[in-house]
Amino acid sequence: VSLAAAAVRAQVEQAASLETTEGTSITIKCSHPNIRTGDFIHFYRQLPGQKPELLAVTAKAPKDVRAPQGRLSVSDDRRSSALRLGWPRRGDAAVYYCALGP
């Protein structure tokens, strides 16, 4: 499973790409050192040939993600976040975006 990550705003940084084997968990990390008080952390997934789909949004509390199965967590200082995919499959190969916003 090949996953790509992309930064939506200049204040957000992600690894350019990540790879794992089918069924092996993977964590997509996002750094946002200049996050503002009112900002929420958004994770999106864009499958090939499709529009981006929202996976999860949070200010700080961990969020479970249904499809693909995973969990979004945020550091105590809110300067980083991580989307862990527990059992990625070939169909989960996509571009994963992290963004900040209202």
Q: Could you tell me the CATH number of the domain that includes residue 86?
A: 2.60.40.10
2 lies in some domain: no
Task: Report the C-alpha gap between 8 and 99 in whole angstroms.
Answer: 5
55 lies in some domain: yes
9 pLDDT exceeds 70?
Answer: no
Task: Give residue 99's pLDDT.
Answer: 92
15 lies in some domain: no
Tens-digit pLDDT profile for residues 29-52? 999 999 999 999 999 999 999 999
Task: Give residue 67's pLDDT.
Answer: 87
93 lies in some domain: yes
Residue 24 CB contacts under 8 Å (≥ 6 apart), including other chains:
88
Task: Report the C-alpha gap between 85 and 77 in whole angstroms.
Answer: 22
30 lies in some domain: yes
Residue whose C-alpha is closest to residue 60's, from 38, 44, 45: 38
When the pLDDT of each residue in the chain is averaged and rounded to a whole number, the result is: 88
Task: Give residue 54's pLDDT.
Answer: 95
Residue 77 CB contacts under 8 Å (≥ 6 apart), including other chains:
none
17 lies in some domain: no
For 84, the domain range is: 22-101
85 pLDDT exceeds 60?
Answer: yes
User: Could you give the number of structural domains in the chain?
Assistant: 1
